[in-house]
Homo-oligomer: A and B are copies of this chain.
Amino acid sequence: MSVMIAGSVALDHVKTPHDSQQNLLGGSASYAALAAGLFCDEVHLVGIIGHDFPHAHLSLLESKGIRLEGLERSSGASFTWSGEYHNDMNSRTTHSVGINVLENWVPKLPAAAAAAKIAVLANMSPDNQIQTLDQLQGASFVAADTMDLWINIAQARLNEVLKRVDLLVINDGEAREFAGTGNLIEAGRRLLAKGPRYVVIKRGEHGSYLFGERPEQFFACSAYPLESVFDPTGAGDSFLGGMAGWLAARGLHQPTFADLRQAVVHGSVTASFTCEAFSTHRLQRVTAAEIAARLGELQAYTRF
């Protein structure tokens, strides 16, 4: 079963306490597509890049079997993000964002991408998410991510998105802000009330929560423990892509709560690899055996 992933494709400039690198492959759709590709062999990426986008990044995506027919090539400059991590990765500062080719972008889905049974609206503007939703032909399960920027400047459009998706994935700080409560359990319930049937709150080093419509539909997933985090950029996108790819690989385009619980565990383990190197450097060489090993460890670490 195929999965469609629409979102940003970026050039990242990242500084950590250990090192810094320029022009790294970044963007929500890049991470999510590579993560989905670990589980599923038909992943369609929808995004836009500029004339300055390194050929090596495209080759990497192609070498992993990611379908790039929906990746628009523009004569403008690529979207860029420049940021820095402090204090053992527990906080980050965005130094600059170059919107560039994203400014007037309207996603265009090739037929195969529009026909995917599972669709991911990775982090991008709610307008781009709605434009993508409008072109979906075959999707019976749609998941969306977002970020504080859209909550602040485009909340009405974001609320429209939430009425049309099955799953919202959002990080803890953004969930508290969007739901207007410091309590994450209450935040999850309030976000469900905005429309999606399921909500995942990503809790960084602590893991994630999955909420379903019925009160007993709650799953607390611990994060795979990492003694050292090198660069957490893209971990949340990898989480979402891993979830979607795992569902697609199993043919679960109408997932139950139990299916989503398993998808969350797979997304969580996938994200743990992303944190171990800059950009997609670790994610792109993860093996099925490594994923299986961490799943087994995580189960042993949390079972009682």
Contacts and interface: CB of A to CB of B under 8 A. Distances in A.
Given A207-B220, A221-B302, A222-B302, 18 more contacts: A87-B182, A88-B183, A89-B182, A90-B182, A185-B226, A186-B227, A186-B228, A203-B206, A209-B225, A216-B300, A219-B302, A219-B304, A220-B223, A220-B225, A220-B301, A220-B302, A262-B304, A265-B304
Interface of A: 87-90, 176, 181-186, 189, 203, 205-207, 209, 216, 218-223, 225-229, 261-262, 265, 299-304
Contacts of A182: 87-90
A219 B301 contact: yes
A152 to B, nearest CB: 19
B227 A183 contact: yes
Which residue, A89, A90, A205, A209, has most C-beta atoms of chain B within 10 A?
Answer: A205
Dominant secondary structure at the A interface = mixed
Contacts of A87: 182
Nearest to A297: B216
21 contacts: A88-B182, A90-B182, A184-B205, A185-B226, A185-B227, A186-B227, A186-B228, A189-B227, A203-B206, A206-B206, A206-B207, A209-B225, A216-B300, A218-B301, A219-B301, A219-B302, A220-B302, A221-B302, A262-B304, A302-B302, A303-B303
For the complex formed by this chain, how many copies does it contain in all? Answer: 2
Contacts of A88: 176, 181-183
Which residue, A216, A221, A304, has most C-beta atoms of chain B within 10 A?
Answer: A304
